[in-house]
Structure 1
Amino acid sequence: MKDLLIIALLLTFFGANSQEKYWVYFTDKNNVSFEAENYFHPNAIARRNRISYPLNHSTDLPVNMLYKSEVSNRVDEYLGASRWLNAAVVMANEEQIEAIEKLPFVKHVEPSGFVKMICSTEESVESDSDFERQDLMRFQIERMQADKFAANGYRGKGIRIAIFDAGFPGVDEAEMFEHIRARDGIKGTYDFIRKTENVYRKISHGSTVLSCIAGIAGDSIMLGVAPDADFLLAITEKLMKEGLAEEEAWLFAAEWADKNGVDIINSSLGYTRRSHFKTDMDGNTTVITKAANLASSKGILVVSSAGNEGNKNNWMMMAAPADGDSVLAVGAINPWSGFHTSFSSFGPSADKELKPNVTGVGHVVAYGVNDKLHMTQGTSFSAPLIAGFAACAWQANPGLSNWELLKRIEQSGDLYPYFDYAHGYGVPQATAFLQDQPKQALHPDSLFNIHIEQETITVGIRDEYLNQDSLDVQTNIPDRVANKIMERINENVNLPIDEEHPFEKRELFYYHIENNANYLDEFSVVSVDENPILQLDIENLNGTLRFHYRGVTKEIHF
């Protein structure tokens, strides 16, 4: 009995004195001074003016110094304060937090703690031959038609991009980034973990991400499409072995990037299942998503990896901040199959918003250790491909706001107006932002054969538009949405391969069923090697059936 009492006392002692991370939110910003013209980079002021955003918005005012001091004196470790959230983040025990909650200027206190996931994956690469590596470098750009940006003189010039990641070793020395260094294109660096300007350390994930935006291999081979953009590089993450992610570092980096005039933030880091419920992925709950939405409200386009949870049955949905309603969430397609790759996270968000917004090639050739090219994969790398695309699109259309640009990128998707929770609106196409007129789409009546009978609807393709892409059916069912995604079975597929270009856009048939609450009950990708393509029981249809093939979308209401 005595031993049990001692154990109970020890548990009580350590429970009361164990430190946890907390956000302390303040009631106001009384008695603070702020001069926007002296604080912001001219680019940040111009960005605000472009969207009619106040230069003295309350979220930009500094946190009250007295409030910060009072809280700092009552905790073991003060980690920093956020203007945007009007809050401080601290390490404290329960007794200290109870005292802080009683302060008259404290609005409320929230516990904090996320586990990070860098959005690259160890999924094996189907091939690493020199032949395919060379063609993949072409395809990861041409799949977006983004080579047309360069042909028209758009390479991201005048656009400032911030990359938040885990490290950028080699960027200060590698030949692949010499063109950026030569023109002083790195406009700022900061390590928000060690509080130093040196970011050329730790793992090379951030260097690989940068190469997917602006890398040039050899003399002229572009790995990304915005080599003329300017960059801010921020370390916001500890090494994987350290466990807890520093979500406040992402927020502080966003405020720093805003102050220093960025136009685009690329984030290839995700926060998911180990510290969150799926219901938290609602676009408004996690601190990092709140920060991303605030950045967007100030005119910044936030591009985020959707995440690599697609093949993890205990999660499968996207990672924060991709759930943000103002965030351009990017999924991934497999260049061998032409559609969703197995690791790419599914939508929708917990509040049924369409996610991902768009997709890009998720298996890429990019920067590797010691300035060597290597094939790698993950939504970590589809996102920066799209971020570079966005930079060129913005350069070509400088009058657009960030929100207008986001919607235009969605509308440029090769599936638009069709969408689903694996591909969003598809892969953005550069011709939508250039003067080139897009190819005239076929009329639905000249493409589809549709037969509606008493019990079934049958959809076929006119014989002259069938092709020989053969796919094997697999079914994934995250939550209650039946996502029937077809995976190519390499050994059973006999496709004609262009000896010069093994990677090409696959013409596949997509369909979804949208219910009357405006979200999808089912979506699928189907091969078009023989008719009928689709046959459904009408009694199971209650809403809208949409299908898409060769740039044509047809919808039928039931």
Structure 2
Amino acid sequence: MKSFFLVLAVVMVTVNLTAQDRTETGMYFVGFSDKTGSAGILDNPGAYLSEKALLRRARHGVTVTETDLPLPGSYVNGVKATGVKLWLRSKWMNGVVVAAAGPQLDQLRSLAYVDTVYYVAPVQYDRLAEEPTIPSLDHPAPNIGTIPVNENFYGYGWRNIEAMKGDSLHVWGFRGDGVTVGVLDGGFPNVGYKYFLGYEDEATIPANYDIVQQDSTALDGSTHGATVLSTMATFRPFLFVGTAPAARYVLFTTENSEGEHRLEEINYAVALEIADSAGVDIVNSSLGYTTFGEKGMNYVYEDLTGKKSPASIAASLAFERGMIVVTSAGNSGSDPWKFISVPADAENIFAIGALNSDGSRAYFSSIGPTPDGRIKPDVSALGVEVTAMTASGRGVTGANGTSLASPLVTGLLACLIQAVPGATNREILDAVRATADQAAAPDNERGYGQPNFAAAYRYLMQARK
């Protein structure tokens, strides 16, 4: 825990100092100095982590640490006693987000256990309930049965999967069964409509939670998340089959359509915490941050170390706990910025670039390296004219961007997790890099190249003999 809090201090230094001194009503992050008195105890992790989460950690040899403990109730109550409105809790960041103003900020900074208070966004939403209840993320998986794996049956989805030899995984029976995939985005309207994903039983509609507005449904908002989800989850025989149609999905709205602010990065971190606690195996986040609605929050290239953004730090914490986090590299390749975005800069995140249909880099796909010389993106996948469901859920369309390349890879990684259940997250990602089409000479335009998931499966199986 202490090491993360030291890293978090670096994040706070990067926040514009004038923003820290602001006194107008807004959303503020309040960070605690420790977790003294936390209700959670290290020898009883079942009180705050699901059985699935504990099994994933055990498979990776990961122990529960103080970072995983809930926030001390006395600290939270002390913050609330100042009259602020509590909005979010983050055990990994060891703090809360509150709506506060004026004298309240001075009171917060005077609390002995508070070591930082900084501005993250204007107040944009309100809620009636002080403490919303996060719904159960446990739900049944879609039952798609035995299916033929061919271009006719997969319809417009065939092009998405065939280039990365993902069809071989499906032929061998690996379509994401038993794997839980988290998806972080801006909203998922219409996915509850029967013909969007093709699920016959409404009970299999993905579990979801809106962290932005703090309500019980993410099945509204931006259509971007629905488009992303469809590339993985759709099962519409003879029209469109996604890359992991048998996986279970958990949806989180973390992106705020009202404007770009640093609070979205904290939303991202909180979503990963919830996903970890629920036992999610792999996460897709087709999101990226470089510039914000207020210039004092903007990043510069030198910030892309993976250690400055709460989202990037949380992605690394999720990896340490056995999860795989996949993200889009960004679509700034032809812009003056040109480089990857946050959280693609995280060391252990799997950042995905975009390719044309001939395997060449799409002109818009963001490039590396990171300032400390790490290769980014990690790999690249089809990102031009990617088949996805239309916003209405009644047909298919072609979409462009690393936002579409990322879920194609995420879905096939879910299939690989099913195929080699004993493999660690690092072993799986190393195998994908080692068998991609330019593994011998990776660069900062395509990374290790286009994955070959059939070869990655063989690589893993050979390594485990």
Q: Within 5 Å, give how 1:244-393 maps onto structure 2.
A: 244=261, 246-274=264-292, 275-313=298-336, 315-335=337-357, 337-363=358-384, 364-371=386-393, 372-393=395-416
Q: How far is 1:317 from its partner?
A: 0.9
Distance across 2 between alignment mates of 1:153 and 1:312: 42
1:32 matched to 2:46? The reply is no
Q: How far is 1:158 from its partner?
A: 0.9
Q: How far is 1:247 from its partner?
A: 2.4
Q: Which residue of 2 aligns with 1:109?
A: 117
Larger RCO, structure (CA 8 Å, separation 6 or more): 2
**CA-to-aligned-CA distance 1:451-489 (integer Å, 9 cap, x gap):** xxxxxxxxxxxxxxxxxxxxxxxxxxxxxxxxxxxxxxx
Distance 1:298 1:426, change over 3 A: same
Q: Is the 8 A contact 1:174 1:370 kept in 2?
A: no
Q: How far is 1:326 from its partner?
A: 0.9
**CA-to-aligned-CA distance 1:266-287 (integer Å, 9 cap, x gap):** 1011111332222221111011
SS in 2 for 1:67: helix
Q: How far is 1:227 from its partner?
A: 0.4
Q: Is the 8 A contact 1:281 1:349 kept in 2?
A: yes
Distance across 1 between alignment mates of 2:377 and 2:93: 26
Distance across 1 between alignment mates of 2:273 and 2:376: 25
Distance 1:16 1:437, change over 3 A: closer
SS in 2 for 1:190: strand
Q: Which amino acid aligns with 1:44?
A: A
Q: Which amino acid aligns with 1:196?
A: D
Distance across 2 between alignment mates of 1:415 and 1:267: 25
5+ residue gaps in structure 1?
1-11, 115-133, 439-558
Q: Which residue of 2 aligns with 1:138?
A: 158
1:204 matched to 2:223? The reply is yes
Distance across 1 between alignment mates of 2:202 and 2:423: 27
Q: Which residue of 1 aligns with 2:142?
A: none
Q: Is the 8 A contact 1:141 1:223 kept in 2?
A: no
Q: Is the 8 A contact 2:156 2:240 kept in 1?
A: no
Q: How far is 1:411 from its partner?
A: 1.3
Q: How far is 1:187 from its partner?
A: 5.2
Q: How large is the RMSD of aligned CA atoms in angstroms? A: 2.5
Q: Within 5 Å, give how 1:204-243 maps onto structure 2.
A: 204-217=223-236, 219-239=237-257, 241-243=258-260
Distance 1:104 1:433, change over 3 A: same
Q: Which residue of 2 aligns with 1:416?
A: 439
**CA-to-aligned-CA distance 1:55-77 (integer Å, 9 cap, x gap):** 3x111111111111222333643
Distance across 1 between alignment mates of 2:22 and 2:460: 67
Percent identity of paired positions between Structure 1 and Structure 2: 33
Distance 1:183 1:79, change over 3 A: closer
Q: Is the 8 A contact 1:397 1:433 kept in 2?
A: no
**CA-to-aligned-CA distance 1:163-192 (integer Å, 9 cap, x gap):** 01111112111424123x538444521111
SS in 2 for 1:149: helix
Q: Is the 8 A contact 1:263 1:299 kept in 2?
A: yes
Structure ID, larger Rg: 1
Distance 1:185 1:71, change over 3 A: same
Q: Is the 8 A contact 1:168 1:200 kept in 2?
A: yes
Equivalent residues, number: 400
**CA-to-aligned-CA distance 1:102-155 (integer Å, 9 cap, x gap):** 3221233344359xxxxxxxxxxxxxxxxxxx9974322111011111111110
Distance across 1 between alignment mates of 2:327 and 2:250: 16
Q: Is the 8 A contact 2:353 2:402 kept in 1?
A: yes
1:67 matched to 2:67? The reply is no
SS in 1 for 2:351: strand
In terms of mean alpha carbon deviation, does 347-356 or 93-102 score higher?
Answer: 93-102
Q: Is the 8 A contact 1:44 1:261 kept in 2?
A: yes
Distance 1:136 1:425, change over 3 A: farther
Distance across 1 between alignment mates of 2:285 and 2:28: 24
Distance 1:177 1:368, change over 3 A: same
SS in 2 for 1:109: strand
1:79 matched to 2:79? The reply is no
SS in 2 for 1:97: helix
Q: Is the 8 A contact 1:362 1:378 kept in 2?
A: yes
Q: How far is 1:430 from its partner?
A: 1.5
In terms of mean alpha carbon deviation, does 395-404 or 95-104 score higher?
Answer: 95-104
SS in 2 for 1:271: coil
Q: How far is 1:234 from its partner?
A: 1.1
Q: Which amino acid aligns with 1:167?
A: G
Q: Which residue of 2 aligns with 1:43?
A: 52
Q: Within 5 Å, give how 1:87-98 maps onto structure 2.
A: 87-93=95-101, 95-98=103-106
Q: Is the 8 A contact 2:157 2:242 kept in 1?
A: no
Q: How far is 1:220 from its partner?
A: 4.1
Distance 1:392 1:222, change over 3 A: farther
SS in 2 for 1:370: coil
Higher strand residue share: 1
Q: Is the 8 A contact 1:216 1:222 kept in 2?
A: yes
Distance across 1 between alignment mates of 2:22 and 2:216: 37
Distance 1:187 1:139, change over 3 A: closer
1:191 matched to 2:229? The reply is no
Distance across 2 between alignment mates of 1:366 and 1:147: 17
Q: How far is 1:323 from its partner?
A: 0.6
Q: Is the 8 A contact 1:25 1:109 kept in 2?
A: yes
Distance across 1 between alignment mates of 2:366 and 2:157: 24
Q: Which residue of 1 aligns with 2:10?
A: none
Distance across 1 between alignment mates of 2:370 and 2:329: 11
Q: Is the 8 A contact 1:149 1:430 kept in 2?
A: yes
Distance 1:65 1:38, change over 3 A: closer
Q: Within 5 Å, give how 1:359-508 maps onto structure 2.
A: 359-363=380-384, 364-371=386-393, 372-435=395-458
Q: Is the 8 A contact 1:186 1:232 kept in 2?
A: no
Distance across 2 between alignment mates of 1:172 and 1:332: 29
Q: How far is 1:417 from its partner?
A: 2.1
Q: Is the 8 A contact 2:164 2:450 kept in 1?
A: yes
5+ residue gaps in structure 2?
1-17, 123-153, 293-297
Q: Is the 8 A contact 2:420 2:460 kept in 1?
A: no
SS in 2 for 1:369: coil
Q: How far is 1:292 from its partner?
A: 1.1
Q: Is the 8 A contact 1:213 1:385 kept in 2?
A: yes
